[in-house]
Amino acid sequence: MKVIAKGIINKSIADVWNVMGSQFATVHLWSSNFNNSKPDGAVKFKCLEYSKRVTLTDRGKTIQELDVFDASNHSLSYHITKGLPEVAEVANGKWFLMKQDEKSTQVIFEFMMEPKAFVNSEMAIKIEKGLSHSAECFVEELKHYLETGKPHSRNKEQMNNAIK
């Protein structure tokens, strides 16, 4: 199954790429899907000092390994090597940007998941609906973070730190 979420962010493509691409390993700063995140792995790409991000979610530790990191085309792709949902055989993502004008950028997130054999069609529909909702939240939270400089209210970790 594959879901795609798109949105327009009122920031330059360079500003959006700086957060979405260059700061791939600190996704927890803007996405409520992650409680924490940090870089890991050997250097694999010219303009990035790591090749993986280790994240902590409500479901535990996950590791996403970058397969492509193309700063000149504002795109990246990765696959999950640890912490797949129990229903997933394989999961990966593609993120890319398209310049709209000097002050706005279209962000496109593609998330793909191959369910395990025991997943029936009814369960698959529910999983796809949940994945679509998460993808839409991802776009909304990135947009909010870039346009306001603050994490979205769904981002528990950042909201807790702001209170301290």
Q: Are 49 and 40 in contact (CB under 8 A)?
A: no
Work out how many domains the chain is built from and give that number.
1
In a domain, 122, yes or no: yes
Asked, for residue 164, whether it belongs to a domain, the answer is no
Per-residue model confidence (pLDDT) at position 95: 97
Instruction: Please report, for residues 19, 98, 140, 147, the alpha-carbon distance to residue 103 in angstroms, rounded to integers and kept in the order given.
Output: 15, 12, 18, 11
162 lies in a domain? no
Kindly list the distances between the CA atom of residue 107 and the CA atoms of 99, 100, 114, 164, in Å, as whole numbers in the listed order: 9, 10, 23, 32
Give the residue-averaged pLDDT of 19-41: 95
CATH number, residue 10: 3.30.530.20
Q: Exposed/middle/buried for 32, CB within 10 Å: 0-12, 13-18, 19+?
A: buried
Q: Is the pLDDT score of 1 beyond 90?
A: yes
Decide if 118 is inside a domain.
yes
Whether the predicted pLDDT of 161 surpasses 60: no
Pairing label, strands 75-82, 60-70: antiparallel
Question: Would 98 be classed as within a structural domain?
Answer: yes
Does the pLDDT of residue 54 top 70, yes or no?
yes
The whole model's pTM is what? Answer: 0.91
Helix, strand or coil, per DSSP, at residue 142: helix
> Quick check: is 39 in a domain?
yes
The mean pLDDT value for 82-96 works out to 94
Q: Which domain holds residue 28?
A: 2-153
Q: Is residue 148 part of a domain?
A: yes
Three-state DSSP at 92 gives strand
Strands ordered across the beta sheet of 2-9? 2-9, 104-115, 88-101, 75-82, 60-70, 52-57, 36-40
CA 11/CA 106 separation, integer angstroms: 10
